[in-house]
């Protein structure tokens, strides 16, 4: 993502401080938010049949909610995490999409709307279609 963001205008701000914050959000998405979400996925998919999973799952879900609480407060009523939509937002949206099937994101209307805004971006739609084409072996529509 960083490589792409450096080569395409608009994904990283020109201002050095804003640029540093956007890069920080990229790291936050991967190193602060995503680990709890991955743990939830692992608990459901790989440990769901274990007798102790029923007791563990609420604890894992609470860790995810703790991160989402923090992120939702930071986002507030803004459209993006820090000024204009950036690579940091793109990375965060990608991470939050992992929660889609869990229903937890629905508990956070501001974050759900944030993800929807990210998915609605034309560049996101093109990138998703191209990735889907690679995974399915079919040409993207249009």
Q: Over the stretch 65-123, which tens digit does the pLDDT of each residue have?
A: 999 999 999 999 999 999 999 999 999 999 999 999 999 999 999 999 999 999 999 88
Helices (H) and strands (E) in the chain, counts: 7, 0
DSSP state for residue 117 in the 8-state scheme: H
CB atoms within 10 A of CB 102: 15
Kindly report the average pLDDT of the chain as a whole number.
92
Q: Over the stretch 45-81, which tens digit does the pLDDT of each residue have?
A: 999 899 998 999 999 999 999 999 999 999 999 999 9
**DSSP readout, 72-96?**
HHHHTT-SSSSSS--HHHHHHHHHH
Contacts with 128 (C-beta within 8 Å, 6 or more apart), sequence order: 119
**Is 24's pLDDT higher than 70?**
yes
**Is 4's pLDDT higher than 90?**
no
């Amino acid at each position: 993502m960083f490589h792409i963001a450096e080569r395409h205008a608009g994904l990283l701000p020109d201002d050095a401080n804003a640029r540093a914050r956007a890069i920080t959000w990229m790291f936050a998405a991967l190193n602060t938010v995503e680990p709890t979400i991955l743990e939830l996925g692992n608990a459901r998919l790989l440990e769901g049949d274990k007798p102790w999973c029923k007791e563990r799952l609420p604890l894992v879900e609470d860790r995810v909610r703790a991160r989402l609480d923090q992120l939702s407060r930071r986002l507030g009523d803004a459209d993006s995490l820090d000024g204009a939509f950036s690579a940091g937002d793109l990375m965060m949206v990608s991470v939050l999409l992992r929660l889609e099937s869990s229903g937890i994101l629905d508990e956070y209307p501001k974050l759900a709307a944030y993800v929807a805004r990210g998915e609605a971006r034309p560049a996101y739609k093109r990138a998703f279609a191209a990735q889907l084409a690679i995974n399915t072996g079919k040409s993207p529509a249009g």
